[in-house]
Structure 1
Amino acid sequence: MAKVLMKGNEALGEGAVRAGCRYFFGYPITPQSELPHYLAKRMPQVGGVYLQSESETAAANMVYGAAGAGARVMTSSSGPGITLMQEGLSYLAGAELPCVVVNMIRGGPGLGNIAPAQSDYLQAVKGGGHGDYRLIVLAPASVQEIIDLMQDAFDLADKYRNPVMLLADGILGQMMEPVELSEEVLVQAPEKAWAATGRKKGGPRRLINSLYIVPEECEKHNIELAQKYAVIAKEEQRWEEYQLDNAKLVIVAFGTCARICKAVVDRARQEGLAVGLIRPISVWPFPNDVFARVRETAEQFLSVEMNMGQMVEDVRLAVEGRKPVHFYGRVGGMIPVARDVLAEVKKLYNGGAV
């Protein structure tokens, strides 16, 4: 086991290679450009293919082709580019094609800026494209977790034949941290009996498709997808809990915000306040199970985000209206500061008194 210093975007690339990804199609955009730069050098070393597409729209369709042929394939971008991929993501989900998509979130809407944000949450977890579909969405909080979750992302994509998105704020892409790398083992993509790799004589016909002209057939397909999503929602919830045992106020945060909020929990505990933290790792499926347990003893919840209040909607649904759910956020590339979040915690803890 070797410990090395890596930038988050580089860790994404190394994690993908170690997970068996051999095809990357993408287009540079800040704050994720180091990822395609890294893979441009790394992919040829393992017999893989790196191709810079002419646009993000093209990248998503290239992913469709490679995934349809059974490859482990990935693309990446940030806000504006991910928006351009939405049609392709809907096709990928409709055709049940496994792939991994990275969104290194920057400030928006519009061109916004290149500073970190979490304002693409709703786009990711509710489906930004057309039709009834879901992406599995994982949210790392450290460079080490980026590498670890890349393996999970490709495994989940293949297990459920579904696109998986890694959702991170721009800080995680740009920050450098020590990571532990095991001895490299080049993982091979699993055999996929459904993949369109050519029809052998007398063999079954393999068709990759999301077009169902007959309404009854399209309805049947949608129902089958919904049944798959229900299994994912039940089986693949992931979260971290911190100081929850006797917490009266529970902070909910993901990504970089969760790291800040851990410090807030520690400071609150030092001052005698029973505060805990839930960090969703899978933001879809949302970790409703932990809320079902904690909402029985907690008195209130505070969702801390780098947006105008997006995950807070899922927190309210998970709490089912049984306890108050509050929101604190910074936007436009601004990052919550621990002392300000702690001040909000104290205000809520004291019944709204400053």
Structure 2
Amino acid sequence: MAKVLMKGNEALAEAAIRAGCRYFFGYPITPQNEIPQYLARHLPEVGGVFVQAESEIAAINMVYGAAGAGARVMTSSSGPGISLKQEGISYIACAELPCVIVNMQRGGPGLGGIQPAQSDYFQAVKGGGHGDYKVLVLAPATVQEMVDLIGKAFDLADEYRNPVMILGDGILGQMMETVEFSTEKIEISNSEKPWATTGAKGRKPNLINSLFLDPVELEKHNLHLQLKFESMAKEVLWENYQTDDAELILVGYGTSARIAKAVVDQARALGIKAGLFRPISLFPFPKDALQEACRQAKHVLTVEMSMGQLVEDVRYNLEFKIPVHLYGRVGGMVPTARAVLEEVKRWVSSGEEAGNA
């Protein structure tokens, strides 16, 4: 298929349809509104259902119902809307239901603004709602990668019976790039989900539940979930860029990683041995790959549009053996390559030894 020029949000929505998504429930919020707008127009063309719910809370509970019936279902939002969905996401994770949740991040806290940010990282990777649970989190850096990862997200959701989140931002959602779609036609039948509540005629009833009043049973269920979350470790995804001989490693995801890659090229032109490590899966985090990329690094610098969230996981996964620094912009401000390059120069010339982070 020839490449086409599309806005990120619309390309993601088209990819979701091609991945077999047939139900979408959501509520408007900038900067992701093109996703529901596109799906409202095109889902009915393939026999799908689009509902603009009365609230984000209603939308996520509609997702719960459709997922419980075995459908491929998705919702999308940004910042405050994802916060409102957290109770429902916790229910869905506990009930072991597959779904895809898209967060095009915007500045916060509170109502914040409509400009891009990456300050929802903690909310995404730590299980933003109540209880001990995790969602798989994938962080694309290009419109094409959003297209590619949405199909993978639905497959992972079905495989693990767990929510999967696509963590983007306002820039990725609004930018236009050329994309190419898979021509594979995907149809998911309820027979592939024998646990689904599709009517008990001819079989025993299925029960989907997140309420366990017996503490023994609730602990047993939690232990089962934790084993599942641990089994997700093999789903790590990452990108290395010029890390083989790098003495300073930049770490970033999404839009920030695109900026950091340009900084690596500029630093190399100045004789600075810089490289980029880009986690694509934020949960599970590619710990072993990060350690390998940083094996001879003297400094690590995270580039993010937050006050410092990714940086905490980088320090933890490097076991505090290498100085890990932060360059962050917030409130909808985007890091510039020039400013990040100056930060690289500062740490390269600092002479600080590893172990003194």
Same fold (TM over 0.5): yes
CA distance in 1, matches of 2:251, 2:239: 10
Q: Contact 2:290/2:318 (CA < 8 Å) preserved in 1?
A: yes
- Which amino acid is 1:31 matched to? P
Q: 1:186 to 1:294 in 2, by over 3 A?
A: closer
Q: Counterparts of 1:73 and 1:209 in 2: how far apart (Å)? A: 18
**2-structure distance, mates of 1:183, 1:296:** 41
Equivalent residue of 1:85, what SS?
helix
**Which residue in 2 is equivalent to 1:337?**
336
Residues 118, 169 of structure 2: 8 Å contact kept: yes
Structure 2 partner of 1:44 = 44
Cα pair 2:277 2:293 within 8 Å, conserved: no
Rounded to whole Å, the distance in 2 between the matches of 1:319 and 1:257 is 20
Change (3 A) 1:236 1:333: same
- The aligned residue for residue 192 of structure 1 is 193
Structural mapping, 1:1-354, within 5 Å? 1-183=1-183, 185-189=185-189, 191-201=192-202, 203-233=203-233, 235-351=234-350
**Contact map agreement 1:21 1:189 (CA 8 A) in 2:** no
AA at the equivalent of 1:252: V
Aligned length: 351
> How many angstroms does 1:295 deviate by?
3.4
| 2-structure distance, mates of 1:352, 1:260 | 25
Letter in 2 for 1:307: S
- In structure 1, C-alpha distance between the alignment counterparts of 2:319 and 2:167, rounded to whole Å: 25
* Cα deviations by residue, 1:20-47 (Å, 9 ceiling, x for unpaired): 0000000111000010000001101111
Question: Shift of the alpha carbon at 1:52?
Answer: 0.4
Deviations 1:306-332 (A, max 9, x none): 000000010001100111100000000
Asked if 1 retains the 8 angstrom alpha-carbon contact of 2:307 and 2:330, the reply is: yes
Write out the 4+ residue segments of structure 1 that deviate beyond 4 Å after TM superposition. Answer: none
Q: Percent identity?
A: 66
Give the aligned residue type for 1:129: G
TM-fit CA distance, 1:180: 1.2
Partners of 1:79 and 1:103 within 8 A in 2: yes
Q: Per the alignment, in what secondary structure is the counterpart of residue 193 of structure 2?
A: coil
> Normalization by structure 1: what TM-score?
0.97
Aligned residue identity for 2:10: E
User: SS where residue 51 of structure 2 aligns?
Assistant: strand
Q: Give me the whole-angstrom Cα distance separating, in 2, the residues matched to 1:208 and 1:135.
A: 18
Deviations 1:220-276 (A, max 9, x none): 00000000000102x111101100100110000000010011100001011111100
Aligned-residue CA RMSD in angstroms?
A: 1.2
Q: Distance in 1 between matches of 2:182 and 2:12?
A: 15
Partner SS state of residue 125, structure 2: helix
CA distance in 2, matches of 1:350, 1:253: 22
- Residue 301 of structure 1 deviates from its aligned partner by 0.6
User: Is the Cα contact below 8 Å between 1:194 and 1:206 reproduced in 2?
Assistant: yes
Partner of 2:61, secondary structure, is helix
Q: How does the TM-score come out when normalised to structure 2?
A: 0.96
Write the distance in 2 (CA, Å) between the matches of 1:286 and 1:61.
28
User: Please, which moves more after superposition, 184-193 or 326-335?
Assistant: 184-193
CA distance in 1, matches of 2:252, 2:123: 17
Cα deviation, residue 294, structure 1 = 2.8
Unmatched 5+ stretches in structure 2: 353-357
**Alpha-carbon deviation of 1:184?**
5.8
Per the TM alignment, residue 299 of structure 1 is displaced from its structure 2 partner at its CA by 1.4
| Residue aligned with 2:180, SS | strand
